Amino acid sequence: MPCFGMGSDLIKLGSLILPEAVPALSGRQETRVRVNCPECGWEITSDFTWCPQCGVRTKPYQCAYCRGWVPVGMEVCPRCGAPEN
């Protein structure tokens, strides 16, 4: 049994969702670059913080205790000694 009138609602819903979901439609330029994980070589994009394949951190992060920057590969904050969060 057909549902009349539902199509126009879906089109309205799509127009609300698509501009945020698709950068080309929202006017934002795509800035992600494809790179390889330094640990396992899995192809990721430059905006990834963690590698989904091996779980290694791919970007520096701010320490939860002192807000200092912790470089990739360090397990403790070089500024205050707090463990990786």
Greatest Cα pair distance in the chain = 66
- Domain ranges across the chain: 47-85
What would the DSSP string read from start to end of 65-77?
TT--EE-TT-SB-
Q: Which tens digits make up the pLDDT trace of 33-54?
A: 888 988 899 999 988 888 999 9
Q: Could you tell me which residues come within 8 angstroms of residue 38 by beta carbon, excluding any fewer than 6 positions away?
A: 56, 58, 72
pLDDT of res. 11: 44
Is 70 exceeded by the pLDDT of residue 74? Answer: yes
Residue 19's region, left for phi above 0, alpha for psi from -120 to 50, else beta, is alpha
When pLDDT is cut at 50, 70 and 90, the band that residue 12 belongs to is: very low
When pLDDT is cut at 50, 70 and 90, the band that residue 84 belongs to is: confident
